[in-house]
Structures are given as structure tokens and as C-alpha cells.
């Protein structure tokens, strides 16, 4: 009996990447009963980090390991996006692999589980819930060495920045980042813009891309992108752009 238990424990420790959270619900689905989980806790092979969540003994967790559990063990459509994804990919100020505040994007109504919210080190992270883009479009895997997480591609990430701007992200900073996105794939941008439901985001994106004079902008089929009708006042006391019918900050007009 103990040999079987040891084999199950060894398999568990092999299957779970170091630095990741282990969820009790996932363990149950893999054949690890509550009593077996309790035994691993009592033997100090696992340590609890909150209700229904564990880590390996003496394992050092960062928030990426928590995201891994939400994505891979719970199957949640939540990812790192916006400026945080752009930073990880080298298009904005770099993020350290620690407790720097990250921006997470998820479907409307999603809330972090208690074990995540109650972790002191992760409280600074921001969660944005929106359905302006399909959940799986413009998502890529980011390799952290021991495991991979899902984050936004640069094209989706800049759209996410625009979606929360100007209230929660400065448009001037979005424009500065956009200037550096010289290698976006026109085919991916086209798909994202056609699927995007936010008129504001699409108009701002096209305006910034055109002003930035990116080569890939010339390959977009704007006629296939629904830009709505009427004017959009994005900021007060800004400059009006007739082509895209938006009011933008004067310093980037």
C-alpha cells in the first residue's frame, strides 16, 4: 500500500512543475482523494496556501505559478495582457519575475478565487473583465522555463491597452508603445480588428498605426473592419481627427 502511495506521490511531483500552485479540485480529478491530500499535507510534501490550494514543500511561488493553475488546472480564460504582456515580450518597460503588479484580462464577471485574493504578495495585481475580443484570439504561450502560461500577443495586448484607455491607461503611453510595434503581422491584426466589438478601440488603433507610419498598416483591409458611425470623443479638449471621427490628445495628433 505504501509503495502505491509513494508511486502516486512521485507521479504527482513529476507532473506538477516547480513554482506552480496545485489545486485540490484538480488533484481530485486526477485520483488524489481528500484523505490522500491530507496525508501529503501531514507528511509536509504539500503545504497549503489557502482554501483549496497547495504548493510543493519549500517551493517558492510567484504569481505566474498561480496563473498556471488557473489556466491549466481550472481551464479558465484568464491571461496576462495589456502593457504587462508587452513588457514580458520586450515592447515596454521590463517586468521582473517577482511581485510587480500585472494586468490580467478575463471574461465579464470573473473573480479571482479566495486563495489568490488573500495572498498578500499578489494583491497589487489588476483584473480587467471584458468581452470586446474573443477569448482565444491573439493568445500565445510564454515560456517561463519550468512551465508555460498564456499571454496576449503584441497585437492583442495593444488593443487591450486601448480598451482600458484613457481612464485606466494613458493614451500618450499607448502611442509610444505603438510606435515600437513595427513587426506586427497584418493577417493577425486584421482578424483581431474584424472580431473586435469596440468601435473606440478600432478607431484609435487605426489612427495610431497610421500616424506611426507602420508598413504593416498598408496591408490592412479597412473596408472589412466595422468602424461604426458618428463621432467619438475620447478625451476632453483634444484634437478632432476627421478621418476616424475621434477626439485625441493634442500632443499625439
Q: Is 53 exposed, middle or buried (0-12, 13-18, 19+ CB in 10 A)?
A: buried
Q: Are both 187 and 239 inside the same structural domain? A: yes
Q: Are both 45 and 92 inside the same structural domain? A: no
Whether 224 shows a pLDDT value over 60: the answer reads yes
Task: Give the domain-ending residue among 56, 74, 102.
Answer: 56
Q: Are both 137 and 38 inside the same structural domain? A: no
Q: Are both 201 and 80 inside the same structural domain? A: yes
Q: What are phi and psi of 201, to 5 degrees?
A: -60, -45
**pLDDT value of position 129:** 96
Q: Are both 9 and 112 inside the same structural domain? A: no
Mean pLDDT of 177-183: 95
Q: Are both 239 and 177 inside the same structural domain? A: yes
**pLDDT value of position 17:** 94
**pLDDT value of position 1:** 42
Whether 22 shows a pLDDT value over 60: the answer reads yes
Mean pLDDT of 30-51: 93
Query: Could you give the number of structural domains in the chain?
Result: 2
Whether 30 shows a pLDDT value over 90: the answer reads yes
Mean pLDDT of 98-125: 86
The answer to whether 194 touches 221, Cβ cutoff 8 Å, is: no
Band of pLDDT at residue 229, cut at 50, 70 and 90: very high
- Whole-number percent of the chain with pLDDT over 70: 94
Higher pLDDT pick, 217 / 98: 217
**pLDDT value of position 96:** 53
Whether 12 shows a pLDDT value over 90: the answer reads no
Whether 249 shows a pLDDT value over 90: the answer reads no
Q: How many residues does the chain have?
A: 253
Whether 2 shows a pLDDT value over 60: the answer reads no
**pLDDT value of position 235:** 86
**pLDDT value of position 253:** 60
Model pTM score:
0.93
Band of pLDDT at residue 11, cut at 50, 70 and 90: confident
Residue 168's domain comprises 63-252
Task: Give the domain-ending residue among 37, 56, 75.
Answer: 56
Q: Are both 17 and 75 inside the same structural domain? A: no
Q: Are both 112 and 143 inside the same structural domain? A: yes
Whether 18 shows a pLDDT value over 60: the answer reads yes
Buried b (16+ CB within 10 A) or exposed e, 115-148: bbeebeebeebeebebebbeeebbbbebebeebb
Band of pLDDT at residue 250, cut at 50, 70 and 90: confident
Task: Give the domain-ending residue among 11, 33, 56.
Answer: 56
Among 190, 76, 77, 187, residue whose Cα is nearest residue 131: 77
**pLDDT value of position 15:** 86
Q: Are both 222 and 139 inside the same structural domain? A: yes
Q: Are both 10 and 76 inside the same structural domain? A: no
Q: Are both 23 and 80 inside the same structural domain? A: no
State the average pLDDT for the chain: 91
Q: Are both 46 and 68 inside the same structural domain? A: no
Quick one: cell of 196?
A: 473586435
Band of pLDDT at residue 4, cut at 50, 70 and 90: low
Amino acid at each position: 500500500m505504501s509503495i502505491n502511495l509513494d508511486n502516486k506521490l512521485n507521479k504527482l511531483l513529476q507532473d506538477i512543475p516547480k513554482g506552480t500552485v496545485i489545486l485540490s479540485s484538480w488533484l481530485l480529478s486526477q485520483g488524489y482523494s481528500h484523505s490522500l491530500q491530507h496525508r501529503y499535507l501531514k507528511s509536509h510534501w504539500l503545504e497549503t496556501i489557502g482554501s483549496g490550494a497547495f504548493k510543493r514543500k519549500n517551493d517558492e511561488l510567484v504569481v505566474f505559478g498561480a496563473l498556471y493553475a488557473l489556466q491549466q488546472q481550472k481551464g479558465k480564460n484568464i491571461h496576462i495582457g495589456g502593457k504587462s504582456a508587452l513588457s514580458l515580450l520586450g515592447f515596454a518597460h521590463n517586468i521582473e519575475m517577482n511581485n510587480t503588479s500585472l494586468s490580467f484580462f478575463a471574461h465579464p464577471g470573473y473573480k479571482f478565487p479566495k486563495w489568490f485574493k488573500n495572498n498578500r504578495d499578489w494583491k497589487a495585481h489588476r483584473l480587467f473583465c471584458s468581452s470586446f475580443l474573443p477569448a482565444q484570439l491573439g493568445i500565445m504561450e510564454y515560456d517561463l522555463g519550468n512551465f508555460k502560461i498564456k499571454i496576449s500577443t503584441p497585437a492583442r495586448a495593444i488593443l487591450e491597452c486601448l480598451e482600458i484607455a484613457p481612464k485606466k491607461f494613458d493614451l500618450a503611453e499607448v502611442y509610444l508603445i505603438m510606435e515600437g510595434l513595427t513587426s506586427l503581422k497584418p493577417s493577425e491584426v486584421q482578424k483581431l480588428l474584424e472580431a473586435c466589438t469596440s468601435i473606440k478601440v478600432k478607431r484609435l488603433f487605426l489612427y495610431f498605426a497610421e500616424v506611426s507610419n507602420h508598413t504593416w498598416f498598408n496591408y490592412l483591409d479597412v473596408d472589412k473592419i466595422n468602424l461604426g458611425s458618428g463621432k467619438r470623443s475620447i478625451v476632453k479638449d483634444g484634437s478632432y481627427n476627421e478621418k476616424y471621427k475621434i477626439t485625441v490628445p493634442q500632443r499625439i495628433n
